[in-house]
Amino acid sequence: MKDCSTKLKLASPKAREAPLTQTYRHDLDEAELVALGSYAGVTADPKLCKDGFIYVADVSETVDSERYGLRLDGRDYIGLAVENGASLVLTTSEVPEHLEDSFQHLDKHLGSRVKLLRCREPLRYLGPLAQRIYCNNPPAYIALVTGTNGKTSTVNFARQLWHLCGLSSCSIGNLGAVVESGSVDTLLWERDPVLSVPETVTLHKIFARLAEMQVQHVAMEATSHALFDHRLDGVKASHGVFTNLTHDHLDFHGDMNEYFRVKMTLFDSVLAPGAIAVLNADADWFDPAAAICRRRGHEIVDFGRKGKALTLLERESTAAGETLQLRLGSNIGSKTVKVPVKLRGLFQIENILAALSVVLTSGVDVDEAVGNLAALSSVEGRLELVAETDAGAQVLVDYAHTPDGLARSLQACRGFTAGRLILVFGCNGDRDAGKRPEMGRIAVDLADSVIVTDGHPRSEDPEAIRGQILEGAKGAIAVAPRTEAIRLALEEAVAGDTVLIAGFGHENFQVLKDKRVPYSDKATVQTILESERKRQ
């Protein structure tokens, strides 16, 4: 494989013998996209180009796990793409200054064999082209779920519920691409340490494989980064889901208004007019989200305590979980039901209602869908009970890594904790630093004992990160490394206590500087408890 450092190296345009085949467009119309769909393949990775491929050269987030979060300029690698066989280069109308001379002349490769097509935001067309080339017959129901918290649980609950109703189904996101068909679970795409949403071309190949497997019901996460990078453009989605919007990723988006704008591109541009918009009526940003959906002509299905389509009337705690009283509106059933679930916490209930709203608007019988809520299982790494200590304390891990997510997890734990609530958590480096003291304040307000430790420090000083958390967490203590913080929490816990270890959830690695080292909160808990038992 050629090294990605091979860039465009060109000479003066006066030296050309054959005319350069260049076409300029502001936007590509449907006819042009159909014509481009006849090419052998499409990619934004120059290393993957082959004969007859389209290379989309634009700025996007790398999918290289060794360069997590790095944004690469695909225009720098046109030379490599062409050398690898690209027949058409789709790139930007504007030319970066350092490539001005290069773009004037492509004699070595361009002309009769390679065409150059320039347009506004070429990355927008990677998805539509991938859909045409790789997956002309996608699954009938594709629900895209966006929001700060709850995406992973919602898509997994939807997959479970469809499966319980006898339908082959798939969830795509933070836990990979998981298919439930009959009694077999199939992992089509391994969970990615970098991307919760697959790279664009990979995604459409997954859809094609699902169609071959006759899987017609899919729920997948739609992160703000994926929406910003147009990774979901071209997806033939039937549903869009909005769970909530709270403080996160402001290091990338700048402020909450821009964060909201990017989230809403799901409803404003990815979804075709008339699609089903499932919205959390209790979310702070519900009203502007609903206004966008109405303007686009989407069918709004709102859920929650304020929801009209699916109303949460009452919650009652039980030994096994909760019992919910729900009122279904005229568009999804017109009845009031009482149903038990095995999960606890308002945030989990909201995720269940979001999933139920999707399932009920995908042709599933109301009584069957509602009746199967009782069989839903918790999602890996989401308020997951992983152990009970010999002293009688329960130990849970959770992926909560935002202020709102941490607050909701702690509130849920408080509801079933007879004794003290002990929290172990940290914050990640090279990410939104503004939420660190805020999460510290939430921790000491809602937990009885707080141990601040390391998350993924990345390139930052872990001690400095802990210090920023402690600015808001008066009375908390700092312990590192993470293993020792967990050990201390387990030693401190007695009968009736709950130990919540937040931030990593399902993750099986920790990022220390530029290294991704094997690590698991769940495995750490089990190792510590087993070691203690052997010493007794």
- Residue-level pLDDT at 102: 60
pLDDT over 90 (residue 21): no
Q: Is 4 part of any domain?
A: no
Q: Is 483 part of any domain?
A: yes
pLDDT band per the 50, 70, 90 thresholds, residue 15: very low
Q: Which amino acid is at 281?
A: A
- Residue-level pLDDT at 105: 52
Q: Is 6 part of any domain?
A: no
Average pLDDT over residues 47-70: 75
Both 470 and 490 in a single domain? yes
**Residue positions forming the annotated binding site for ATP:** 147-153
Q: Is 355 helix (H, G, I), strand (E, B) or coil?
A: helix
Residue 70 vs residue 377, higher pLDDT: 377
DSSP structural state of residue 272: P
Read off the CATH number of the domain in which 405 is found: 3.90.190.20
- The fraction of the chain above a pLDDT of 90, given in percent, is 75
Both 177 and 300 in a single domain? yes
Average pLDDT over residues 229-256: 92
- Nearest-angstrom CA–CA distance, 411 and 25: 53
- Residue-level pLDDT at 6: 43
Both 225 and 347 in a single domain? yes
- Residue-level pLDDT at 253: 86
**Residue positions forming the annotated binding site:** 147-153, 223, 231
- Give the total number of structural domains in the chain: 3
Mean model confidence pLDDT for the chain: 90
Where a domain ends, among 129, 158, 190? 129
Both 45 and 159 in a single domain? no
Residue 297 is encoded by which pair of tokens? 């002509």
Both 337 and 430 in a single domain? no
Q: Is 305 helix (H, G, I), strand (E, B) or coil?
A: coil
Residue whose entry in the numeric block shows the structure tokens 């499409």: 42
- Residue-level pLDDT at 2: 35
CB 438 within 8 A of CB 472: yes
- Nearest-angstrom CA–CA distance, 127 and 58: 13
Residue 114 vs residue 327, higher pLDDT: 327
Pair type for strands 115-119 and 88-92: parallel
CB 303 within 8 A of CB 243: no
- The reported pTM is 0.88
Q: Is 1 part of any domain?
A: no
Both 160 and 300 in a single domain? yes
Both 410 and 367 in a single domain? no
Both 250 and 343 in a single domain? yes
- Nearest-angstrom CA–CA distance, 530 and 426: 25
Both 423 and 439 in a single domain? yes
pLDDT digits (tens, 9 = 90+) for 470-497: 999 999 999 999 999 999 999 999 999 9
The alpha carbons of the chain give a radius of gyration, in whole angstroms, of: 25
Both 201 and 346 in a single domain? yes
Average pLDDT over residues 135-162: 97
Closest CA to 33 of 122, 142, 141: 122
Both 349 and 469 in a single domain? no
- Nearest-angstrom CA–CA distance, 359 and 373: 11
Lowest mean pLDDT of 88-97, 151-160, 348-357, 381-390, name the range: 88-97
pLDDT over 70 (residue 117): yes
- CB-based burial of residue 220 (10 Å sphere; 0-12 exposed, 13-18 middle, 19+ buried)? buried
- Nearest-angstrom CA–CA distance, 278 and 293: 10
Q: Is 63 part of any domain?
A: yes
pLDDT over 60 (residue 67): no
Q: Is 327 helix (H, G, I), strand (E, B) or coil?
A: strand
Q: Is 405 helix (H, G, I), strand (E, B) or coil?
A: helix
Residue whose entry in the numeric block shows the structure tokens 């099986």: 508
CB 297 within 8 A of CB 277: no
For residue 138, the number of C-alpha atoms closer than 13 Å in the C-beta half-sphere is 24
Residue whose entry in the numeric block shows the structure tokens 């997590």: 68
pLDDT digits (tens, 9 = 90+) for 259-317: 999 999 999 999 999 999 999 999 999 999 999 999 999 999 999 999 999 999 999 99
Where a domain ends, among 129, 156, 173? 129
- Residue-level pLDDT at 251: 81
Residue 326 is encoded by which pair of tokens? 């729900």
Both 21 and 45 in a single domain? yes
Where a domain ends, among 81, 97, 129? 129
| Domain range enclosing 159 | 135-375
Q: Is 287 part of any domain?
A: yes
pLDDT band per the 50, 70, 90 thresholds, residue 535: confident
Read off the CATH number of the domain in which 368 is found: 3.40.1190.10
How many residues comprise the chain? 536
Q: Is 3 part of any domain?
A: no
- Residue-level pLDDT at 400: 95
Q: Is 7 part of any domain?
A: no
Read off the CATH number of the domain in which 66 is found: 3.40.1390.10
Closest CA to 174 of 189, 158, 159, 164: 189
- Residue-level pLDDT at 191: 72
Name every residue whose Cβ is closer than 8 Å to that of residue 177 and which is 6 or more positions away in sequence. 170, 171, 187, 188, 189, 198, 206
- Nearest-angstrom CA–CA distance, 56 and 72: 13
pLDDT band per the 50, 70, 90 thresholds, residue 143: very high
Average pLDDT over residues 356-380: 97
Average pLDDT over residues 213-242: 96
